[in-house]
Each structure stands twice: as C-alpha cells, then as structure tokens.
Chains A and B, each alone.
Chain A
Amino acid sequence: MTLKRRALLALAVAATGLAALPALAQDYPNKPITMLVGYNAGGQTDLVARGAAQVLSQELGQPINVVNVPGAGGVVSAKKLQESPNDGYTIMFHANSVVNSAPFLMKRVDFKPDDFEWGGFITAYQGGLVAPADAPYNDLAEFVAWAKENPNFAYGALSPEARMYMNEIAKKNDLKANIVPLNSGGEMINAILGHQVVMALSGGIHAKYPDQIKMLATLTTFRHSNAPEVKSIDDFGYSLAMDTRAGIMAPKGTDPAIMAKLSAALAKCETDESFQKIVAAANIPIIYMDAAAAKAEMEATFAKNGEIYKSAGVEPQ
C-alpha cells in the first residue's frame, strides 16, 4: 500500500467517522449499556450503583447491566474502563477516590482526572472520626486534650488515609498513638462498640449506630446530613478534609454529548423515589453535580489531595 493510498484511506475513515459521530450521540443509547462497579456485589457503593442503574435505564430506555469488577479499591475496574471502547456503552459507577486518592497511595497507579470523562456525581460519602458515645470527649479538640493525658491509646485505621490522619494529628500535638489495623467497616464498628479503640476513622457506616457512636469531626468539607452540628476537621485547624463522591465515569474521548445525556439522566436520581429510599437506608446524602461541575471538582480535589498527602509525607506503596 502506498503512502498516498494509505492517507486517502485514513481520510475516508475519518470522514465516515465524523459523519457518524453526531448520529451516534443522537441515537445513544440504542443497545444495552454495561456499568462497571469496582466493589463487590452487596456493598454500599454497589447498592447505590444498582439504584442509579435502575433510574438511568428508565431515563435512557435501554437496560443497564451492572458488572462488578472488584480489586484494589476500584483501580482494576478503572483500568478495565480505560481499555474499553469510548462509545458510551461501557461506563463505570464508582467512588472518585479511585482517581483523586489512589495514585497518591499506590505506586502502580498513575490516573489523572483527564484520563477519564466525568458524567456527574450523585452521592457523597460521609466519613468522620468517631468514638464510643460514652467517651469523655465530644469533639476533636477535646480528644486531643484527653489523648495527651493518656498516651499509647489505640486508634483504629482501615486504610492508609486513616493512618495519615492520625499521624498528622499526633505530629501536630505531640501525641503517642498505637494504630490498630482493621480489615473492614464491620470490624471498625466492633472495635468501637467493644471499646478496644478510643477513636477510629469511619467511612460513614457509623451513622447506623446513632446511640452508641458519636462523631468527633467530619473528614469532609461539608456538614453531614445526619449530624449537622459536627464540625469539619478543617475547622479544628488541620486542613485535611477530603471529599469523596460517587458517580459516573467513562473512557477518555467519550462524546461530550453522550456524557451530557448520562449526566442529565443521573440528575433524575435526585427525585426518584426508590433511589431516595435506597440511599436513605444507607445514610448516604444525595449531592448532585453535573458533568461540568464533576470535572471541575475532580481537578480541584486531585490537586488538593495530592498536596495533603505530600505534606503528610505519605509515599505511594
């Protein structure tokens, strides 16, 4: 094949492709959509994803097949998404921490926000530092004062972020903490209720135990729907708050028109009764962001989180 013919052919392919593109976005979707979820079936994010899939398929008029691809906190699934065609028929519903947190913690992950297209967020995670309800301290400042009197206290951590928080608090206040590794949210609840640890980081599951567990500080920039009186860790002078949201991501290069359609359909979750029921049961607030806001949020949090991890001296493993 000569160079000229090859160039012509490429041009022809490009032309038909261009011609086809708008039509593609207009008909979208005309076949079932696959939605990857990077956690196991039955988890909280999976429940929300399945709820959202229901709404999306009503709005878009095509079935949405939820496929669980667990592994490395969603990184495996995100890599699979990257390899998928960017035609809008493979999307992923996941926590955005897979892009704005994982690269700073895992050496083998180099995601950046613009490696993906963002189709909007629908829920946010309400993480916080929690303690048994009968503990003698009621907020983070009081805890620090108590901890100075009681060195070698036990703190429960189930993620590198959780370790980072305690290390930063300890560094700033010259505390001596024993960090107890925990395996799951359920184990964290056990450790708190059984008074094995005096404080732990919760991803939000503590909200199910309002009478036994209290929150000392939120780890988000916003106040939580179920405990509006609790202040953010930023308010205690640490600037460590990191927001995590769940929503739709798609392979890089997916048509913006398709992303807009997905984003508009996702917005309907806000008012969908059965979706509201699901997230209310799991104590997850609905905080909708459209595609443009989601992209801006990703850029901002990626830079901010990177700064936090860097200044805390957290090395990716």
Chain B
Amino acid sequence: MRRANIYSGGFLALLGLAMILFVIPAQIEEGPAGMMSPRLVPQMIMGLMTALSVMLVVRNLMLPDDGEGSPVSRSEYIALLKIGSVFALALVLFYFAGPLWAGLAIVLGSLLALGERRPLVLVLMPIALLAGVWVLFYRVLGTAIL
C-alpha cells in the first residue's frame, strides 16, 4: 500500500490545490455581504483535504518500501475497460436507437464480455430481464420511466 498511498495522496493533494486555486474561484461567486460566503465551506474542506493528503504522502515516504505493486491487477483494468465499453455502447445506442436497445446492449454486451457463450442464455436472459422491468413499471406500478 505504501506506493499506492504516495501516488493517491499526491493526486488528491494536487486535486485539492487545483480546486482551491482555480475551480472554486471560477465556479462559485462571492455571496452578498452579511452572509457566510458560499465559497467558505468548499474552500475549507479542500484545504483540509490537501493538508491531509500531504500528510499521507509524507508519512508513507518515511516508511520502508514494502515492495507491493499496484493495488489494481491487470485483469481488473481489463474488466474496467470491458464494462466501460459496454456502457459507452449502451449510451450511443440510447441516443441513436432508443432505450430498449441500450438495455439490450447492457445485458447482452456484458454477458458476452464476461465470456458467456451459451446461445440459450444469450437469448433468454436479456428478454427475461427487459420484460421483467417493463412489466414492473408499466403494468404493476402503472408508471412510465421513459
């Protein structure tokens, strides 16, 4: 965890600084006089976070190297990529083809991405899930979500 702490702490410290110096002044206006400034709490909390992150980095730098690698394994990065692509595809389909296709893409896409190849499952599961959602909202609850 030592190296992970140094990297993540460094990242968060930089993020905090960027928020204080650039984002908060640009995104939050000064309030009228006589009221607590709307910037106060975000600035305070980002300052605290930056300080804590610096502390995390410093304290871990003082520890001996524990030889641990990245806490995220290769297969986890691949999974992130796979699921991310499934969502990206679903979003594109949502805009250009409609919600039904997006839902189909999520179920079918993730089934395929995770290595499911049995045709029966690939056909039945999306149908069953989407039909279930439809029955629940449009029939049972009598409300529309789309």
Q: Do chains A and B touch in the complex (CB under 8 A)?
A: yes
Listed in ascending order, the chain A residues whose CB lies under 8 Å from chain B are: 32, 34, 65-67, 317
Distance of A317 Cα from B32 Cα, bound (Å): 11
Instruction: Choose among A32, A65, A67, A317 the residue that contacts B29 (Cβ–Cβ < 8 A).
Output: A317
Q: What is the CB-to-nearest-CB distance from A166 to chain B, in angstroms, rounded to a whole number?
A: 13
Distance of A32 Cα from B143 Cα, bound (Å): 12
Instruction: Choose among B29, B143, B146 the residue that contacts A66 (Cβ–Cβ < 8 A).
Output: B143
Closest to A64 in B: B144
| Cβ of B123 under 8 Å from chain A | no
For A32, the chain B residues whose CB sits under 8 A away are 144
Q: Which of B143, B145, B146 has the most CB of A within 10 A?
A: B143
Q: What is the CB-to-nearest-CB distance from A247 to chain B, in angstroms, rounded to a whole number?
A: 20
Check if B144 sits within 8 Å of A34, measured CB to CB.
Answer: yes
Name A's interface SS: strand
B60-97 interface with A by 8 A CB criterion: none
With an 8 Å Cβ cutoff, the count of chain B residues facing the other chain is 5
Closest to B137 in A: A65
For A34, the chain B residues whose CB sits under 8 A away are 144
Distance of A64 Cα from B112 Cα, bound (Å): 38
Listed in ascending order, the chain B residues whose CB lies under 8 Å from chain A are: 29, 143-146
Distance of A67 Cα from B137 Cα, bound (Å): 12
A-B complex: 3 closest residue pairs judged by Cβ atoms:
A65-B144, A67-B144, A34-B144
For B143, the chain A residues whose CB sits under 8 A away are 65-67
Q: What is the CB-to-nearest-CB distance from B116 to chain A, in angstroms, rounded to a whole number?
A: 34
Closest to A66 in B: B143
Q: What is the CB-to-nearest-CB distance from A23 to chain B, in angstroms, rounded to a whole number?
A: 26
Closest to B32 in A: A315
Distance of A34 Cα from B145 Cα, bound (Å): 10
Q: What is the CB-to-nearest-CB distance from A7 to chain B, in angstroms, rounded to a whole number?
A: 29
Closest to B38 in A: A317
For A66, the chain B residues whose CB sits under 8 A away are 143-144
Closest to B29 in A: A317
Distance of A66 Cα from B143 Cα, bound (Å): 6
11 contacts between A and B (CB under 8 A): A32-B144, A34-B144, A65-B143, A65-B144, A66-B143, A66-B144, A67-B143, A67-B144, A67-B145, A67-B146, A317-B29
For B146, the chain A residues whose CB sits under 8 A away are 67
Known contacts A32-B144, A67-B145, A67-B146, then 5 further A-B pairs from the complex at CB < 8 Å, ordered by chain A residue: A65-B143, A66-B143, A66-B144, A67-B144, A317-B29
Q: What is the CB-to-nearest-CB distance from A312 to chain B, in angstroms, rounded to a whole number?
A: 14
Distance of A214 Cα from B29 Cα, bound (Å): 37
Distance of A67 Cα from B142 Cα, bound (Å): 11
Q: What is the CB-to-nearest-CB distance from A6 to chain B, in angstroms, rounded to a whole number?
A: 25
Q: What is the CB-to-nearest-CB distance from A88 to chain B, in angstroms, rounded to a whole number?
A: 16
Q: Which of A65, A67, A317 has the most CB of B within 10 A?
A: A65
Distance of A67 Cα from B145 Cα, bound (Å): 6
Q: What is the CB-to-nearest-CB distance from A35 to chain B, in angstroms, rounded to a whole number?
A: 9
For A317, the chain B residues whose CB sits under 8 A away are 29
Q: What is the CB-to-nearest-CB distance from A205 to chain B, in angstroms, rounded to a whole number?
A: 25
Q: What is the CB-to-nearest-CB distance from B105 to chain A, in angstroms, rounded to a whole number?
A: 23
Distance of A317 Cα from B31 Cα, bound (Å): 10
Distance of A177 Cα from B143 Cα, bound (Å): 46
For B145, the chain A residues whose CB sits under 8 A away are 67
Q: What is the CB-to-nearest-CB distance from B65 to chain A, in angstroms, rounded to a whole number?
A: 49
Closest to A50 in B: B143
Closest to A68 in B: B143
For A65, the chain B residues whose CB sits under 8 A away are 143-144
Q: What is the CB-to-nearest-CB distance from B94 to chain A, in angstroms, rounded to a whole number?
A: 15
For B144, the chain A residues whose CB sits under 8 A away are 32, 34, 65-67
